[in-house]
A = this chain, B = another copy of it.
Amino acid sequence: MTRERIYLFDTTLRDGQQTPGIDFSVEDKIAITTLLDDFGMDYVEGGYPGANPTDTEFFKRKRTKKASFVAFGMTKRAGVSASNDPGLAALLEANTDAICLVAKSWDYHVAVALGCSNEENLDNIRASVAAVVGAGREAMVDCEHFFDGYKANRAYALACAQTAFEAGARWIVLCDTNGGTQPHEVREIVSAVIAAGVPGASLGIHAHNDTGQAIANSLAAVEAGVRQIQGTLNGIGERCGNANLVTLIPTLALKEIYSSRFETAIDSDRLQELTKLSHAFDELLNRSPDMQAPYVGASAFATKAGIHASALLKDPRTYEHIAPESVGNLRKVMVSDQGGKANFINALKRRGIVVGKDDPKLDKLIAIVKEREATGYAYEGADASFALLASRILGTVPDFFHVESFRVMVERRFDANGHLKTVSEAVVRVVVDGETMMSVAEGHGPVNALDLALRKDLGKYQSEIEDLELADYKVRILNGGTEAITRVLIESTDGTGARWWTVGVSDNIIDASFQALMDSIIFKLLKNRDHVGLIAAE
């Protein structure tokens, strides 16, 4: 069966640049273009040459190998010819395969923003498209405010699309610029455009997520006949963002109602790179990936629920809408307050701890975890603390060392030169093999001081923890007031590149930190002995 081709148009570097808080450098744009080009997007829109120094620099060269490289800009102004319009000239100078011209299609904006007549605007579209085609480039026209414009003046919006098509534009893109249009309106209006003579094979959709409908609007447009989708990586874009291509691509490829009728340039091998693409882009933006993102989020195939987890283990396919591997993601079954016995057995198994489901120690472990989670512990975020607790209850953990006492002091006072100074100091008494050692350290704040003092002298174990490093430290206050319960999560790492999380909970932040620090050190010592996970099986 022949399937119709859907073209993917990426505007991460243009509309995505309108995202509050996101500013791309030229180097960013080059790196992102490579990601997009390698992945297999049909079109990569790089920005707006002439609008700012970054984009002008970026467009000095063609930046794609396979994808069509696209520059964005405005149609010529009224009152000048296409050849005398400086904006259009800058666009034609840019080294691209295609040019996307934004054109007003809502008569109100023609009057207010452009200050010209409706007929002049049509002339601008006609002449600008002709100039682009005349220069041997592929022309496309973004009909700005198309859906709102259609509702205000149907005939004029249609005339804008028709004019662009007749002038030779390869694509006429219907833009929901303000983002408020609903899917059934999209369906209805796209059908009207096709009925007015612009074929679906020449139509694109540009949707925004202001009502959480960018995905639905894009797919409604495809169902109504549109064959190009504009969107961005991870749905960045002006205001609430653009249609998220990372969500749309797998839906088109994996949902039978679409995959039976349509195909994109992304084959199933590429699709397995989707999670990597999404995370690589977040890395470039220096932000944490959205754990709940469809298809690619760390939680997208995670299950906490006890009732689901046991069935999930019997047959994953019946609790997953797609196979996580098909988009390069992973299945996760988590330990938590919510979890049933099957969850626990599975979580232990992944750590190499085998325990029978009728072992009374397992019931004890589950009871302790539930009780602790009720007081604020969060073991699903603290793998190493969970493994330690399980090892202690199901087996044994050696008494490597013992902290007899500690004292942490923070003092703020004037120093000898009359400057206000805050000093943090910690003292710990550690017993190793019957021998007591005292260590003292200063730090940036009390927790840092305690950490340094704790790891300063562990006697015969000291050489083993030299490569231990704290990578992250998180604090969460679990209820209000300064008397609140505090949860501390610590991420540790060592020379092998391994990473583990530990947790501590107390009404005293120092105590909570101490618990998490201790778990981290003991986990490291067990790890050095390949001991984690083997204990229960002994």
Contact = CB atoms under 8 A, between A and B. Distances in A.
A8 to B, nearest CB: 16
A18 B304 CA distance: 6
Given A380-B20, A424-B508, A223 B480 contact: no
Interface stretch (A22-30, A274-282, A521-529): A22-30
A311 to B, nearest CB: 4
Interface in A446-499: 446-448, 451, 470-484, 486, 490-491
A412 B299 contact: no
A1 interface: no
A220 B219 CA distance: 14
A511 interface: yes
B178 A209 contact: no
Given A52-B370, A475-B477, A303 B23 contact: no
A408 to B, nearest CB: 4
A263 interface: no
A238 B299 CA distance: 8
Contact of A255 (B28, B211, B409, B473): B211
Contacts of A424: 508, 510
Contacts of A448: 482-483
A292 B238 CA distance: 9
Interface string A404-416: 1111111111100
A377 B241 CA distance: 23
Nearest to A218: B212
B210 A20 contact: no
Contact of A406 (B102, B180, B411): B411
A477 B184 CA distance: 44
Contacts of A410: 407-409, 446, 508, 510-511
A251 interface: yes
A306 interface: yes
A321 B477 CA distance: 36
Contacts of A480: 471-473, 491
Contacts of A506: 422, 445
Interface residues of A, number: 141
B479 A294 contact: no
A108 B18 contact: no
B409 A405 contact: no
A54 interface: yes
A28 B476 CA distance: 13
Number of copies of this kind of chain in the complex? 2
A201 interface: no
A512 to B, nearest CB: 9
B257 A184 contact: yes
A451 B223 CA distance: 59
Contact of A444 (B238, B255, B508, B513): B508
B322 A180 contact: yes
A310 interface: yes
A292 B239 contact: yes
Contacts of A373: 23, 52, 54
Given A338-B17, A446-B508, A477-B473, A215 B211 contact: yes
B412 A514 contact: yes
A27 B308 CA distance: 26
Interface string A198-227: 000000000001111111100110010000
Given A18-B304, A23-B336, A210-B300, 15 more contacts: A19-B299, A21-B381, A23-B373, A112-B311, A112-B314, A177-B319, A183-B216, A212-B294, A241-B292, A408-B409, A409-B410, A422-B510, A443-B483, A445-B486, A475-B475
19 contacts: A18-B305, A27-B478, A27-B479, A53-B374, A54-B374, A109-B318, A180-B255, A180-B322, A182-B255, A184-B257, A210-B294, A211-B321, A239-B292, A240-B300, A407-B412, A407-B413, A408-B411, A422-B506, A424-B508
Interface of A: 17-21, 23, 25, 27-28, 51-54, 74, 102, 106, 108-109, 112-113, 145, 148, 177-180, 182-185, 209-216, 219-220, 223, 235-236, 238-241, 244, 247, 250-251, 255, 257-258, 286, 291-295, 297-308, 310-311, 314-315, 318-322, 332, 334, 336-338, 370-371, 373-374, 376, 378, 380-381, 403-414, 422, 424, 443-448, 451, 470-484, 486, 490-491, 506-511, 513-514
